[in-house]
Structure 1
């Protein structure tokens, strides 16, 4: 990970509450997908989880094999206070790229866009490594040019396709119809299945 965007950088952002990406709840595209999942026993990982609203929603709706991973300790501590019944051993304070394990579903929500773009291919590969055969990567990617230097970093669906195509079948990869208002027309909802 680039020195500028290391664990200390993200810890500092959380401590200063400089978290403009944080909408304070699970977003509608992810919530709608979660509500359609029939099997509550699947192992789910939220990479770069931040405050983990997705994991909180899943846990409160009966999913017990939910894991969060983040390089910054502050959001994991905040999550533990907010969701006291959540298993502490499912809060993984480590680098996503060094994580091992097997999951049925990975949930992407503003982690990919926070990474230095030089890590995007590595991200796609690591997602595939962490998924069981046939496992799925779902979530949202920004399909926009930001006026400022990142994070978040700009990108396009055409660019993203080349990172994921070696490892995944594309089940859905299109503009999200139910993004929150500030992100309308600027997010791609993806549902990819490990090859």
Structure 2
């Protein structure tokens, strides 16, 4: 397994030093809109690298009681618990994403992919495929700006994402987000990727 230099200590320190510029203080509008059209309240949902996870709070408040959040840092999980005291402790997963062993119907991506070292992206795709049930979906936002060595957050492009995900996922949606927050307008892609039953490469 490739090493992630942005490890537990790194992220714990970011929270201690209040260097959490990704935290907007509420559920991201594109993800909120997607959640609002979901009907299956029993779906098993994961938000990895969840941070303070206002998306998880929104899910919980809207009846999605099978929601799990994961973060390598403990502080953001405690922050969520303080806001939503009924959120089950065993749904707060304080661990490394790549060591998780569970199955989900839906995984929500919100500023997790961009926080990982770029050399872990193939491993991210493999792990998402492993965690999703057949027909499961990976849904959320990916940044759309040039990939540089200065991060996190790290950038990426539609072309790169197609190359990364196309073999194991059906690309149902991958398009510019029309309702991003002001600070991220023009720099986000909203996506819905569906787990392929078989690994069939589609070049289109």
Match of 1:40 in 2: 41
CA distance 1:172–1:89, change in 2 (3 Å): same
Match of 1:150 in 2: 151
- The alignment partner of 2:146 has SS state of coil
| Alpha-carbon distance, 1:148 to partner | 7.1
1:184-195 correspondence to structure 2 within 5 Å: 184-195=185-196
Cα distance per residue 1:103-148 (max 9 Å; x no partner): 0000000000000000011111111100000000000000013777
Mind listing any 5+ residue stretches in structure 1 that lack a counterpart?
none
| Alpha-carbon distance, 1:64 to partner | 0.3
The answer as to whether partners of 2:5 and 2:117 remain within 8 angstroms in 1 is no
Structure 2 distance, partners of 1:151, 1:143, is: 14
Mind listing any 5+ residue stretches in structure 2 that lack a counterpart?
197-204
Match of 2:201 in 1: none
Give the alignment's TM-score, normalised by structure 1.
Answer: 0.97
Structure 2 distance, partners of 1:112, 1:189, is: 13
Give the alignment's TM-score, normalised by structure 2.
Answer: 0.93
Q: Name the Cα RMSD after superposition.
A: 1.2
Structure 1 distance, partners of 2:90, 2:50, is: 15
1:8-87 correspondence to structure 2 within 5 Å: 8-87=9-88
1:93 aligns with 2:94: yes
Aligned residues: 195
Match of 1:180 in 2: 181
